[in-house]
Amino acid sequence: MRAMRFHEHGGPEVFRADEVPLPEPGPGQARVKLEAVGVNFIDIYHRMGTYKVALPFTPGQEGAGVVDALGAGVTGLRLGERVAYAFSGGAYAEYTLVPADKLVPVPDGVSSAFAAAVMLQGTTAHYLATDTFALGPGHTALIHAAAGGTGNLLVQMAKLRGARVIATASTEAKRALATAAGADAVLPYEDFDTATRALTLGAGVDVVYDSVGRDTFDRSLNCLRPRGVLALFGHASGTVSPVDPLTLMSKGSLYLTRPTLGNYLQTREELLRRAGDVLGWLGSGAVKARIDRSLPLSEAGAAQAALAGRATTGKVVLIP
């Protein structure tokens, strides 16, 4: 089978289309014939060596397709069943092995491309809105990069939960997408902290969801009410420098958390609940996912370059 791998860290050009043996599922594993693969920043961090991996390496943390073979001891799955998953490696390939307990069924009304598009970003938006800070009516959230994959889903889920949403995005076209997702006010990044204060009549927001990192972090802290929560869940613009705890005191006894999906998918029940909600909302139209572009698997490098280059609105999907 074909896999898009790299043998050294570097730019998008390090990808090679390698012919590798079809993997055989071990105990507890299923082999999935991939129909769509989601592209994520973590794949870029793996390629660049920001997160260390053993080489050669096949990136990719999410996908959707059909169950093609089962390892010993796997129950509750049948061959040919449509499934999706997130947070298991090796997705930039025609086939991949996934622990069976990470697979969730895909409802009939949801295509494999859309299932692959929401597994990682959708479950992330879900845990951020429901658990990192449990949004509800009366809350105001500031959500950065609201035309992005995770940000746009998070805006929609925050609105489903009855919160008021202030959003940021870099261009007029991206701000229009944030408005279409339901944001109550959408700001450019310039002076977003001053503008957020004004929009909340000086009070500040209950929570900031920050996936941009270096370029927004300090000003995000300025937007919070006393005892507000900064959920720093990504660093699309670069990583954030160490924080002096006294800064959190002086800006209002703030809470800072750096959540990551793995800690919010700790059990099979948790996975089924979050993925079930997300895929269910997608099927019913309560939440809409946006596929920015679908590219052949062989264009993995171009797909990553578009995401890293700030050129996307919504999800980038690879089709094996």
Please give, one letter per residue, the 3-state secondary structure of the chain: CEEEEECCCCCHHHEEEEECCCCCCCCCEEEEEEEEEECCHHHHHHHHCCCCCCCCECCCCEEEEEEEEECCCCCCCCCCCEEEEECCCCCCECEEEEEHHHCEECCCCCCHHHHHHHHHHHHHHHHHHHHHCCCCCCCEEEECCCCCHHHHHHHHHHHHCCCEEEEECCCHHHHHHHHHCCCCEEECCCCHHHHHHHHCCCCCEEEEEECCCCCCHHHHHCCEEEEEEEEECCCCCCCCCCCCHHHHHHCCCCEEECCCHHHHCCCHHHHHHHHHHHHHHHHHCCCCCCEEEEEEHHHHHHHHHHHHCCCCCCEEEEEC
Least distance (Å) between residue 260 CB and ligand NDP: 4
Least distance (Å) between residue 220 CB and ligand NDP: 12
Least distance (Å) between residue 147 CB and ligand NDP: 5
Least distance (Å) between residue 164 CB and ligand NDP: 20
Which residues contact ligand NDP by CB under 6 A? 40-42, 120-121, 124, 145, 147-151, 169-170, 174, 211-212, 215, 233-237, 259-261, 310, 312
Least distance (Å) between residue 211 CB and ligand NDP: 4
Indicate the residue among 74 and 279 with the shorter CB distance to ligand NDP: 279
Least distance (Å) between residue 3 CB and ligand NDP: 22
Least distance (Å) between residue 241 CB and ligand NDP: 16
Angle at 37 between CA 278 and CA 72, to 5 degrees: 85
Least distance (Å) between residue 188 CB and ligand NDP: 9
Indicate the residue among 59 and 149 with the shorter CB distance to ligand NDP: 149
CA distance linking residue 292 with residue 285, whole number of Å: 18
Indicate the residue among 304 and 312 with the shorter CB distance to ligand NDP: 312
Indicate the residue among 58 and 150 with the shorter CB distance to ligand NDP: 150
Indicate the residue among 121 and 140 with the shorter CB distance to ligand NDP: 121
Residue of this chain nearest to ligand NDP (CB atom): 148
Indicate the residue among 95 and 217 with the shorter CB distance to ligand NDP: 217
| Residues in Cβ contact with 209 at an 8 Å cutoff, skipping those fewer than 6 apart | 128, 141, 142, 143, 144, 151, 154, 231, 233
CA distance linking residue 175 with residue 166, whole number of Å: 11
Indicate the residue among 4 and 265 with the shorter CB distance to ligand NDP: 265
Indicate the residue among 67 and 231 with the shorter CB distance to ligand NDP: 231
Indicate the residue among 100 and 169 with the shorter CB distance to ligand NDP: 169
| Residues in Cβ contact with 311 at an 8 Å cutoff, skipping those fewer than 6 apart | none
Least distance (Å) between residue 45 CB and ligand NDP: 7
